[in-house]
Amino acid sequence: MIWVYAFISLVIVQRLVEVGLANQNAKWIRSKGGYEVGQTHYKYLVLLHGFFFVSLITEVTIKGVAFDLWSAIPFAWFLFAQILRLWALSSLGRFWNTRIMILPDANVIASGPYRYIKHPNYAVVIIEIAMLPLFFKAYVTAFLFSLLNAIVLYIRIHTEEEALQAATNYEAVFEGKARFTPKLDE
């Protein structure tokens, strides 16, 4: 079980490093005249992710972990999500953030995974919140937090897209692009 806790701890550390990077990027965007939108729901996003890890650790501790061949499927999806996360993060550079940061009149990034979908980073979060618990057979955590995440993302994405459309070239760049999955005819 120790390696299970170590693995989950590694994911938590990754998230904390990302929050640090996001704070640096937010400071840079603000220094260029940018601003944040959606502050009121950001705290719920943070709480969701915090309680996600508490729930995952609790469920794994209570139920134990038994890996089988099926475990490779959610683990492979989780690894895919990590690759997609790095691609999205590196494509956005200093514009990547956990907050909704808007830099008026900036050209929206349309390279990397953003060539294919509007929200690859949210796709990553959707995959992770489902697949990390499924890897450990923590079915309650996978179901409950996938549902809660869907609610938060519904609000967040609407807020983000509305702000980007008002202040950037977002609408022109992403016209016809899907939010989470690439269109097969592209």
pLDDT single digits (tens) 148-184? 999 999 999 999 999 999 998 888 877 876 676 666 5
Assess whether pLDDT exceeds 70 at residue 48.
yes
State residue 65's pLDDT score.
92
State residue 172's pLDDT score.
83
Residue 53 confidence class, pLDDT cut points 50, 70, 90? very high
End-to-end CA distance of the chain: 44
- The mean pLDDT value for 17-42 works out to 96
Alpha carbons 155 and 65: distance in angstroms, whole number: 34
Q: Note whether 112 and 88 are within 8 A (CB).
A: yes
Residue 31 confidence class, pLDDT cut points 50, 70, 90? very high
Q: Note whether 56 and 129 are within 8 A (CB).
A: no
State residue 17's pLDDT score.
97
Q: One-letter amino acid identity for 116?
A: Y
Query: How many other C-beta atoms lie within 10 A of the C-beta of residue 10?
Result: 10
Summarize pLDDT for 72-119 with one digit per residue, the tens: 999 999 999 999 999 999 999 999 999 999 999 889 999 999 999 889
Assess whether pLDDT exceeds 80 at residue 16.
yes
According to CATH, the topology of domain 2-174 is Four Helix Bundle (Hemerythrin (Met), subunit A) (1.20.120)
Residue 185 confidence class, pLDDT cut points 50, 70, 90? low
Q: Note whether 103 and 163 are within 8 A (CB).
A: no
- What mean pLDDT value characterizes the chain? 93
